[in-house]
Chain A
Amino acid sequence: MSTVTNDPIRAYIVSEFLAGEDAEDLTDDFDLIESTVVNSLGLVRLISWISETYGIPVDDIPLEPAAYRTLADIRGFVGRAAPAGV
């Protein structure tokens, strides 16, 4: 699966959780949770970043594992919930 290079969510995860390395492996369907790229505190940070960046109230962000497995999953719910779209 191709990787969207100018994807802000991908850029955020690379800079925050992969220490800025250009992570080739981080494709749209890479499992962020299984791979422990995003840990529990990381998840709290990710949720707050999404909330701020896309203007989605924290309470409207899904609290279920399936929403965070992959970049595609995250982009999916952000696209549905963000007032301005992604």
Chain B
Amino acid sequence: MAAEKAPDTYGITAPYADELNDDITHWDRVGEFPHDKWKPLQRSGLFTLPFAPEYGGAGRTLTETMAALEGLGHTSRDAGLNFSASTQIVSVGIPLQAFGSEDLRGRYLPQVTSGEAITAHAITEPSHGSDVMNIRTTAVREGDEYVLNGGKMFITNAPVAGLFLLYVRTGKPGAFGLSTFLAERDTPGLTVGEPLETMGLRTSPISEVTLEDVRLPVGNRLGSEGAGFLIMDYVMKREVLFSFAVNLGEMAHRLKRVVEHATTRQQFGSAIGKNQAVAHKIADMRIAVETARKWLYDTGLKVEQGKDASLDVAATKIVVSEANQLTARHAIQIFGARGYLTGTGIERELRNATAGSIYSGTNEIQRNCIAALMGL
């Protein structure tokens, strides 16, 4: 079912279903970014949605963009590609539009909205994952430049990205110790590691990024010095809404497949869905999908209206990632041995859903955040 708020963006990737779903099992097995599938996404206009028309954007709202990403999740069975696509929108484009100078926006946003430059954002470090306020990579100002040194880890899209947003330390640990810089891939001293092999989302390439005396002009900083944490907070809200809207679409599709299977697969002379133990699982799947939908669009609307939504975003992240894992597990059980086979694509969904409770701030950290916002 299309989102109520913005039905006209929901279907924009649907015409490209055949291209997007071509040879899914192969791509998952080889674990490579399917470059050819990026092209239909570019043609669909997905990457233009939340951006201003003067930079090649479509000027759509946050919830309209979410609806399009939900539609992508429903259309495309390649959850890795879908995750890379939502990273494309949020990692560089969103902060560049909100905090970049006119010069930076003019130079880089058109490449982002066209999808010509693939983008990545680098926050996590080998020694600092959840403890993000204490990251060690530094930027030291020297005249009109900053010199960056350190290393980043688990960076989605890095192996294929042309533009990086780097979150680094410019001050003491604390609320204003971080700053954000835009860097092109071929900047001397910036090295992208080999793609790391992963359990799921295998077509969304991920790697280390090392920075050795990387020199960036002061003009490549987004916002003022020390604004990095607030920029990250702004971006993370949108990252959760966008990437988990994709999961909503994927879950809705999964539910449809499960219902179809439960009503057609016969055992003991009737459809397996006639068994209460199976039917209840499907009812729980339905509740999980609808709960995810309500949280996503309710929170999306709040953020769109400029209301405070810190607690809502944390709760949404937990609800949707756990719904995704639950529905993926139930789907395998209901498909039986067929669910366990790689060829049916059901087991892949559990592998893909696993990372959702880790990235964008682990669910433990989200619960800590909710507790802290409640004054605990």
Contact = CB atoms under 8 A, between A and B. Distances in A.
A38 B175 contact: yes
Contacts of B229: 40, 43
Given A33-B174, A43-B175, A44-B373, A63 B223 contact: yes
A47 B99 CA distance: 18
B233 interface: yes
Contacts of B307: 51, 57-58
A39 interface: yes
A44 B233 contact: yes
Interface of B: 99, 133, 174-176, 223-227, 229-231, 233-234, 305-310, 369, 372-373, 375
Consensus secondary structure, chain B interface: loop
Contacts of A57: 305-307
Given A63-B234, A64-B223, A64-B226, A44 B176 contact: no
Interface string A44-75: 11011001100001111001111010000000
Contact of B308 (A42, A43, A51): A51
Contacts, number: 62
A36 interface: yes
A41 interface: yes
Given A64-B227, A65-B224, A40 B308 contact: no
Nearest to B231: A63
Interface residues of A, number: 24
Given A33-B174, A44-B233, A63 B308 contact: no
15 contacts: A16-B375, A33-B174, A38-B175, A41-B372, A43-B175, A45-B310, A47-B308, A48-B310, A51-B308, A57-B307, A63-B231, A63-B234, A64-B226, A65-B225, A66-B224
A48 B308 contact: yes
**Residue among B174, B225, B308, B310 with the most chain A CB within 10 A?**
B308
A58 B308 CA distance: 6
Contacts of A66: 224
Nearest to A38: B175
A45 B373 contact: yes
Contacts of A42: 175
A66 B305 CA distance: 25
A59 B369 CA distance: 20
A29 B307 CA distance: 29
Report the 9 A-B pairs with minimum CB-CB distance, sorted nearest first: A57-B306, A48-B308, A65-B226, A63-B230, A65-B176, A59-B306, A40-B175, A64-B224, A43-B175
